[in-house]
Copies of this chain bind each other. A is one copy, B any other.
């Protein structure tokens, strides 16, 4: 595609303001660090949005002009308004991409799209995580070696209560003895969803070059295709059914004519 992909990086932006140590790791916020990584990768038009902005920074206008959302949240999931979740949900099913990071596993939008609890085991023990690539031809791992090693991260352990991924991309090894499906790709409606595990707020994970590359690859992969909106509702036959009186129903056009 010749046009830049329009990415909106959303962050609840609480930890960085409330905790000095975290604030010093992410002086521009977690969203800022992620946005910088995307800018450096090139090919994206990046904006950011945070919880405390009006409509969480996710107005109709912003959402309608976003191809791919990146989502980081943790302690304030409950403060995200249902109407905004509805808006993102619709936009993703209509074709947009959504990249859910780390503690975003418990965000309303991710749980809504998955249909499961998205619960898991966790531990903050400054331990090593090694993310092994198990889908070596997937565009999300372009430029990535056999594994990504993070010296210190929070542990997330199985069972991770998600639907079986359409493509399982990474599996993590943790020093304390657990494994985790840490890169999981889904098709939902006309949209694409990628869950990527790393990024606890107390570590500089979003400055890691491999992690940035994965997020940029995922944003490329998740960008919308150019297709007419889906048609649903009462539908006249395409073949002749002589006994049937055509309704010439105005079928519902599902989604916008096109996202791009």
Interface positions of A (Cβ within 8 A of B): 93, 95, 112-117, 119-123, 125-127, 130, 132-139, 141-146, 155, 157-161, 163-164, 166-168, 171-179, 181, 186-192, 224-228, 230-239, 241, 243-244, 247, 251, 254
Q: Complex Cα distance A137/B223, Å?
A: 9
CB distance A163 to B188 under 8 Å? yes
CB distance A187 to B138 under 8 Å? yes
Q: Complex Cα distance A146/B253, Å?
A: 12
Report chain B residues within 8 Å CB of A137.
Answer: 95, 187, 189-192, 224-225
CB distance B168 to A121 under 8 Å? no
CB distance A227 to B136 under 8 Å? yes
A217 to chain B, nearest CB (A): 9
- A selection of 20 A-B contacts at a CB cut-off of 8 Å is A119-B254, A120-B232, A121-B231, A121-B235, A125-B243, A126-B243, A127-B237, A127-B241, A127-B244, A133-B159, A136-B189, A137-B190, A137-B191, A138-B187, A143-B227, A155-B237, A161-B230, A161-B254, A172-B179, A173-B178
A89 to chain B, nearest CB (A): 8
A233 and B121 in contact (CB under 8 A), knowing A115-B188, A175-B241?
A: yes
Of B176, B226, B244, the residue contacting A142 (CB under 8 A) is B226
A139 to chain B, nearest CB (A): 6
Question: What are the nearest 3 A-B pairs in CB distance?
Answer: A176-B237, A177-B238, A121-B235
